[in-house]
Structure 1
Amino acid sequence: MEQYFYTETMTVMNADADFRSLLKPSALLRYVEQISTDHARAFGMDDQFFKERGVTFLVGKQALKFDRVPQRAETLTLTSRAQVSKHGSVKRITTLTDAEGKEVAMVDCRWIVASLAEGRILREPGWTVENFWNDTVEDELPLQLHKCKDGLTSAGEWTARYSQCDLNGHLNNAFYLDLVCDALPLEIVRKAPVTFASINYHREIPLGETVEVLYAPSADGWYVIGRHNGQTSFECYLELEK
């Protein structure tokens, strides 16, 4: 069955590249956040649409993988597909292809719909949009975290500053990967770029609030956890190029 999808092109900006002139993993998540918003707006789901219904979309978890990390100034084609809500979660798969049509990256993002008035997650959006949702989107990435309870090293505390927060007044979903990479020892991130990451957002970190970040080697990569007010804020597992 033919899939409904949305596509647009983006060019890797200087500010989105790291010291290797390669696309930062956090920037990849920002690109996906933008195409997701553009896709919704193209089908009439803009800010006013959600305001009238008293709901918002939140990211519960997401994962990314690079087959090849794109370079600065490279133009990429993003193709995004959304699946109907199942068990309270909307799966959105976004693939990135290069100028030759080869897939270089994929992001598997799981959205949830929340009622602003009731402060709870809704199992179904409560509306339908023709030619937007797919019954099934086959692709997916592993979302497991390879958790560690022992051997965690504290990387210190981070405060959610103005430049790191988004329109919701809390730490932006993409910025968490900057925080995670900054928390790892410098000799680790200098060796190789990130090729895979899975992150689970448990509790928002509001503007001005502080989170302690801890890390440990795990499986084939690193496990990173953030704690805020005595509770887990986020967990992340990432792997670097071998």
Structure 2
Amino acid sequence: MRGSWKDDYKISSDYTDFRAQCRLSSLLALMQRAADAHVDDMGVLWQEMKDSGMGWMLITLDIEFKRMPRILETVSIQTWNKGTKGVLWLRDYRVRDADGNLMIQSRSVWALVDVGKRKILRPSAFPYRLDVHAEESIGDVPDKVQVPPDVPLSEAYRMQVRYSGIDANGHLNNSRYADICLDALDEEELKLSLHNFRITYHNEARMGDDILVLRSDLSEGSIYFRGESTEGKPFFEACLVVGLQEKSSL
């Protein structure tokens, strides 16, 4: 068993955007792949969890960027389980280039859920052993994202959850929310460098759900987002921090 997992991934052309850089959603998908591989390596198989009626729910993700990977670049993604805090499970990530330089680091908060009842379970309900690598940490537990009450939001667009976004858990995959946010930006905003992305998932979006995507103006480098149903039920809140240049360090 391993307390930490690391694997290499090549940024193929279908992972990239119009700038020949890795899309944010592709990065989130690769991070999820690394976490899945780590859990699988510790003997916790997806099918066994499904048969037990259990699943993982991502609650909050906080990512810091020095730069995004580029087309055909090979990066290594390291991830480790930091243990639990109450009902929450903590997992960190680091992304490095081929020379070992740190490009991206991330903190995430997960919950174990009863898939049928859509109820959060205590860690003691988990029937498997997961190695803990608590001695290494990116930082404290990330705060939930909340759009400040004094930040006005306006409608960017509306969308309906369809086949292309649904995963094996029957809901919109967490990586696709990055596309939802970036699809709300204009071309000039998309040319800016990513410095930080934070997102909190409030309620799962399922096939056929309509999502009203709201965003703020770009102010002091930050853009806030909220996705909600036509009845006002929140699906997610997020914040994107951007700049004219890539960050010099993390």
- What's the TM-score once normalised by structure 1's chain length? 0.91
User: 2:87 and 2:146 mapped to 1: Cα distance?
Assistant: 24
User: 1:117 and 1:208 mapped to 2: Cα distance?
Assistant: 19
Residue deviations 1:104-162, cap 9 Å, x none? 111212110012344311221533426x2234542137545362445211012111121
What is the CA distance between 1:64 and its match in structure 2? Answer: 1.2
- The answer for the alignment partner of 1:230 in structure 2 is 232
Task: Note if contact 1:195-1:241 (Cα within 8 Å) is conserved in structure 2.
Answer: yes
Task: Note if contact 2:156-2:215 (Cα within 8 Å) is conserved in structure 1.
Answer: yes
What is the CA distance between 1:12 and its match in structure 2? Answer: 0.6
User: When the two structures are aligned, how many residues end up with a matched partner?
Assistant: 238
Which shows bigger deviation, 220-229 or 47-56? 47-56
User: 2:184 and 2:61 mapped to 1: Cα distance?
Assistant: 19
> Which residue identity lines up with residue 12 of structure 2 in the other structure?
M
Task: Note if contact 1:62-1:143 (Cα within 8 Å) is conserved in structure 2.
Answer: no
- The answer for the alignment partner of 2:112 in structure 1 is 113
Which secondary structure does the structure 1 equivalent of 2:56 belong to? strand
Task: Note if contact 2:65-2:103 (Cα within 8 Å) is conserved in structure 1.
Answer: yes
What is the CA distance between 1:7 and its match in structure 2? Answer: 0.8
User: 1:91 and 1:140 mapped to 2: Cα distance?
Assistant: 11
CA separation of 1:52 and 1:171: change in aligned 2, threshold 3 A: closer
Show structure 1 runs of 4+ deviating over 6 A.
none
- The answer for the alignment partner of 1:194 in structure 2 is 194
> Which residue identity lines up with residue 223 of structure 1 in the other structure?
Y
- The answer for the alignment partner of 2:27 in structure 1 is 28
Residue deviations 1:143-201, cap 9 Å, x none? 45362445211012111121122112221101101110001233321x31322100000
- What's the TM-score once normalised by structure 2's chain length? 0.88
CA separation of 1:233 and 1:117: change in aligned 2, threshold 3 A: closer
- The answer for the alignment partner of 2:243 in structure 1 is 241
Instruction: Please list, as runs of the form range in 1=range in 2, the aligned pairs for 1:78-157 lying within 5 A after superposition.
Output: 78-124=77-123, 125-129=125-129, 132-140=131-139, 142-143=142-143, 145=145, 147-149=147-149, 150-157=151-158
Which secondary structure does the structure 2 equivalent of 1:166 belong to? coil
Task: Note if contact 1:148-1:216 (Cα within 8 Å) is conserved in structure 2.
Answer: no
Taking only aligned residues, the RMSD between alpha carbons, in angstroms, comes to 2.0
